[in-house]
Amino acid sequence: IGSDVMVAEYGSSWTTPVAISGAMGLNSDATAAVDAQGRRMVLWTHASSTGLNGGNLTLDAYEAALDSNNVVFATYDELTSSWSTMQTVALTEGMDTGLTIGHDASGNVVASWVRKGADGLDHLMTTTWNGSTWSALGSGVDSDVNALVLSGTNLYAGGIFTSAGGVSAARIAKW
């Protein structure tokens, strides 16, 4: 059960789609970006579908798999003309949804998403790719996030939170 993440490129025509190695599973929110070094990358949310075959496929098992999804990525290697295997951006507890991609003022890829915590609240997760590693941006917000928007190099979050990044915020924040 599940699907591969397939990548194709368009020049004068479409290339044959190729599967990202290790990406078979419950995948969603796939999006593409180019980092500050010009390297192509794909990010998406991924949950393992291992154990969801045959008689083990119940709604509870499916929901448990989705609750354990994580944000992952793959990069394209110009030297080998191939995509890397799937790698993890962040291991989080709870369901990750609403993956949004943008760039900061230096051209670094910024990824943001909402994680449903064990406390029942939505938590804003944001990380920046410097070309080799991901690093967290700020300390997040103190309550539900209902919207994420990237505008230029700014990330805006809206919700019912009153604090963002450790400072007072009236239900809207900008990074």
Using an 8 Å Cβ cutoff, are 140 and 123 in contact?
yes
pLDDT digits (tens, 9 = 90+) for 15-37: 999 999 888 888 888 999 999 99
For residue 137, name the pLDDT band (cuts at 50, 70, 90).
Answer: low
Query: pLDDT value at position 157?
Result: 81
User: Which tokens in the block code for residue 172?
Assistant: 């809207």
| Ramachandran class of 43: left when φ > 0, alpha when ψ lies in -120 to 50, beta otherwise | beta
- Spatial separation of the C-alpha atoms in residues 171 and 175, rounded to whole Å: 14
Using an 8 Å Cβ cutoff, are 90 and 127 in contact?
yes
pLDDT at 168 over 80: yes
Q: Which residue has the tokens 């993440």?
A: 5
What is the average pLDDT score of the chain?
A: 84
User: Which tokens in the block code for residue 168?
Assistant: 């007072």
Q: How many CB atoms lie within 10 A of CB 134?
A: 17
pLDDT digits (tens, 9 = 90+) for 61-97: 878 787 778 899 999 999 999 999 999 998 877 888 8
